[in-house]
Amino acid sequence: MAGGKETPRQKMIGMMYLVLTALLALQISDTILEKVRLINASMEDTESALKLRSKSQRAAIDSAAAKVAADKDAKADDKDINVRKRALQYQATMSRKEVADQIFKKTEEVINYIENLKKETKMKCGYKPGMENKEDADPEQKYGNLKETEKVISYLKGPGESKSGEGYKLQQKLNDYVKFLNSVKVKDIRATADKKDIEIVEVPLYSLIGKKDERFDKKTGMAHLMAETPEEKMNTGRMSKSEFNSLQKSAQKDWVDWNFEGSPLATTVAELTRIANDVWQLESDFISPLSGETTVEVKVVGFDVKVVPNAKVLVPGMKYEADIVLVPQTSSNFNPVFKMGGSVLKVEKGAGKYSTIVQGGGFNEKGEKKAGISGTVEYIDPKGLPTSLQFKDEYTVVKPTISVKSQSVNNLYRNCCNEVVIEVPALREFYSPIFSSPNAKLIQAANPVGAVTIIPPGNKATVNVKSNTPAGVINIGDQEWGVIAPPKPTIKWLLGNNKELAPGTPLDKQQLNQVTLLIEADKSFAQFLPKDARYACSKVKIQTKQGIGGWQDKGSSAVASTPSTSSMGKVGLYNAASTLASGSGISLELQEVYRQGCQSRENIELSLAERTIILTTK
């Protein structure tokens, strides 16, 4: 990780984490939460593989220490350079073992804390230890209430603003762990300045991996261990700039809020598993230089073959990748040959490398299907005899689920620019959407990915979602909305700019030119779609009536109102009503009331009662 390049397994762990956080919509179905639980189980399988790698690294370091034990009494100042080399190699190897033992101990402490935190969090939500293996047990007792959010955040955050919850303790342990790794020093053999001899020096462990500022740069995959604010997530590439700008409008969140607030138990447990995997990966990165240069040949008594996949749950268009590893019980030099279907796999660092594009179709009623790989590994055993072992792995392919982010969850507004973000969280970086609709106009935005404006003219809007993937264009499905008319605006008549006029209000001559028309958009509509909630009126029809006579047309008065969510305009009545006797009637009827939308203008139909008011003269 020194160069910032992540392995396929690391990338997939990060991908699955983003899948989980993206599932936190307003409505989370039991089916989706069950898939979250399956993905967590997959990440726990990955964690088991990382534990196996840690065990192998520990065995290699212990074996190296045992090998150089005979050189304990070698003199570092001996005239023979080979003796000096053995003496310095002993010091360096024992220093590395001591440092490695410290790292293994610190890692174990952090992992044990995370595992206990997962268990305690689930127990707060109804989980009963030991019930997960009983088929007839209540699901809540087996896994906890997967939808529970309040108990989760209360336990992790603590009461009120005390910040005394377990989440803050976890954050501190992670920070302390990273600081510890950054402070560790180890002995290393180097050439002297004149290149004629060798010497032993004490150097920071991170110098054997890469520069400190590069190793802990915010662009690397471990930055989330130190993250405090949304800026950290944007800098690590896990949040777009537009999403960041939106979040800046809300209150700043701390690390616990950012990672766990609003998360149900299902995604919280998966998040804790992801953090544990990152701790294992960080340990491996720092242990690698300690085990990589303490190589020794040890007699092998047997082998196991292990398949280490990038994930156990995938969607069509993703890559299934796996390392097939021949694991010795101690260590050895060997050249395994991995075969699948008659083809020989590429071998890197002793592991057979395999990848394939996951295909869709053939899903069961739950939207899932099983797939897998199998093959053989051939090698020469410790007795010099040709030997073959079989390996296999099975994974689950799930049908992608559409997730929609919008201000209006259930309905869209007719002839309005309804802005939504249509996501397929499971596809992650493979998501390159193609939208189409048989009954609405669509305007697709470049950023963020999945942003589209829907302008429906009818009573229903349907958007078909497809995506370009490495496997080609795949059809995700249709998303449907009901369509409703925008709510009518509220009409008010004011004297000046604030006093509301009731029907029958008497006006004197000075007040005849102080009548103001106010058109207010529905507050909820204006909040959701401000560009579509702009109203105005062009003119007002004026009629007057004196005594028992009929109503007389006095023409129309132009209204100087500009389309807005709260449009105001003066209505001049002096010329039409200044000569009227006291108690005469003045009828004001709105004409040409319209809504100026984001793309077009639409006349508003109002009843006679809604568009008319009758005033009187003093």
Domain of 542: which CATH number? 2.60.40
Shared domain check, 234 and 114: yes
Asked whether the predicted pLDDT for residue 350 surpasses 90, the reply is: no
CATH number at residue 413: 2.60.40.10
In this prediction, residue 439 has a pLDDT band, given cuts at 50, 70 and 90, of very high
Shared domain check, 586 and 472: no
Shared domain check, 339 and 271: no
> What one-letter code names the amino acid at 37?
R
For the full predicted model, state whether its pTM sits above 0.85. no
* Assigned token pair, 161: 């603003």
Shared domain check, 506 and 445: no
Q: Which residues of 459-477 are buried (b: 16+ CB within 10 A; e: fewer)?
A: eebebebbbebebeebebe
Range of the domain at 528: 490-617
Query: How many independent structural domains does the chain possess?
Result: 4
> How does pLDDT run across 447-459, given as a tens digit for each residue?
888 899 999 999 9
The dihedral sign for the CA sequence 268, 270, 271, 275: positive
pLDDT at 35: 44
pLDDT at 452: 92
Helices (H), 249-349: 255-260, 265-292
pLDDT at 75: 67
Q: Select, from the ranges 294-303, 389-398, 410-419, the one with the highest average predicted confidence (pLDDT).
A: 410-419
> What one-letter code names the amino acid at 550?
G
Shared domain check, 56 and 205: yes
Sequence-distant (6+) residues with CB within 8 A of 6 are 14, 221
> How does pLDDT run across 51-104, given as a tens digit for each residue?
777 777 777 777 777 777 777 776 666 666 566 677 777 778 888 888 888 888
Beta bridge mates, 309? 322
Tokens 């955050």 belong to which residue? 157
Asked if residue 251 belongs to a domain, the reply is: yes
Tell me the three-class secondary structure of 188-219, residue by residue: EEEECCCCCCEEEEEEEHHHHCCCHHHHCCCC
pLDDT at 329: 47
Asked if residue 3 belongs to a domain, the reply is: no
Residue bearing the bigger pLDDT, 57 or 519 = 519
* Assigned token pair, 5: 């390049």
Which of 17-31, 94-108, 477-491, 526-540 is predicted with the least confidence, judged by mean pLDDT?
A: 17-31
Virtual torsion, Cα 19, 25, 27, 29, nearest 10 deg: 10
Shared domain check, 385 and 411: no
Structural domain ending residue among the three candidates 344, 371, 399: 399
Shared domain check, 154 and 224: yes
In this prediction, residue 43 has a pLDDT band, given cuts at 50, 70 and 90, of low
Average pLDDT over residues 564-578: 88
Q: How far is CA 467 from CA 186, 474, 475, 564, in A?
A: 50, 6, 7, 38
Shared domain check, 380 and 508: no
Shared domain check, 586 and 538: yes
Asked whether the predicted pLDDT for residue 164 surpasses 90, the reply is: no
Residue 564 DSSP symbol: B
In this prediction, residue 520 has a pLDDT band, given cuts at 50, 70 and 90, of very high
Which of 210-219, 231-240, 358-367 is predicted with the least confidence, judged by mean pLDDT?
A: 210-219
Q: ω before 400 within 30° of 0 (cis)?
A: no
Other C-beta atoms lying within 10 Å of the C-beta of residue 80: 10
Asked if residue 1 belongs to a domain, the reply is: no
